[in-house]
Amino acid sequence: MPFAFDIFKVEEPTMAFVVLLRRYNIELREAQRIIDRGRVICNGKTVVGKNQLISGNVKVLRFMPKSRGLKPIFWGNGFMVFDKPSGVLVHPKKVITPYSMLDEVRFFGGEKANGVHRIDMETSGLFLASLGREHEIKLKGMFEKKEIKKSYLAWARGNTPDEFTVDAPIKNRDDYSTNKHKVEISSEGKKAKTKFKKLLYSKDLNASLLHVEPLTGRTHQIRIHLFHVKHPILGDPLYGTSFNVAEAYLEERLSKEERIKYTGASRLMLHANTLEFKYGNRYFIKSKKGLRIKN
């Protein structure tokens, strides 16, 4: 498990945040976050304030990355890029999460390295990570200002038009009693626009392989936009299935065979294929993997 206790002794009474700053060479905000999350224990009691004086036996719950051999495919000045497999979380949801991309990011980039954008667990493909806080702030800002261009590959049900654009606002749902969609198309939502181009159509699969360019960055944007035009992504257990199938998936009751039966694939057939941006030099980075359907 990546989280483990660092155990040591503090001889003289010292403010908790100072202990953390000295031991881990971190910023004050990070020390505050560790304390606020109850991850500092002194003589068996949880430390509750950054200015609390502590001495004696101290335990700090820290993220200790463990690599599974997923090396970066590209190193730049201040960043690195991974080709993420489907099924891997970008960041651990809980302390007990056994593995996430953060393990690889911190293993290869050090404890101040971080991912700088979101990518769904089941989406495969390019994942950009920063090397240090300064680069993290800059790269996240570039994503917010749409200065980093992304494209995807997706297998969608049916024979789509050759080229089409979906311009439909997206709103986060707060009621899952009628369906399990995380987002919905709504006039009350935020502007969202996606361009699609068909690369090929498979009669055997009755599915189209699409080149996808999201012009905005909303949650589940590609998934909801394709569902909206009645061409949901193969393997999508939420958008394009019944309430019962979606619920079974979320409760981890949906078998692989059932998922293939109801969605057409054993995983979400969405792949982050390219990244294009200027960061000192101009970069165009393409995934080394394709998007093959292997059930």
Q: How far apart are CA 216 and CA 222, in angstroms?
A: 10
DSSP-derived letter for residue 251 is: T
The Cβ of residue 173 has, within 10 Å, a number of other Cβ atoms equal to: 13
- C-beta of residue 104 within 8 angstroms of C-beta of residue 67: yes
Q: What's at 80, amino acid-wise?
A: M
Q: What residues are labeled active site?
A: 120
- C-beta of residue 271 within 8 angstroms of C-beta of residue 211: no
- Using a 10 angstrom Cβ sphere, with 0-12 exposed, 13-18 middle and 19 or more buried, the burial of residue 257 is exposed
Q: How far apart are CA 121 and CA 288, in angstroms?
A: 19
DSSP-derived letter for residue 215 is: S
Q: How far apart are CA 142 and CA 277, in angstroms?
A: 9
DSSP-derived letter for residue 261 is: H
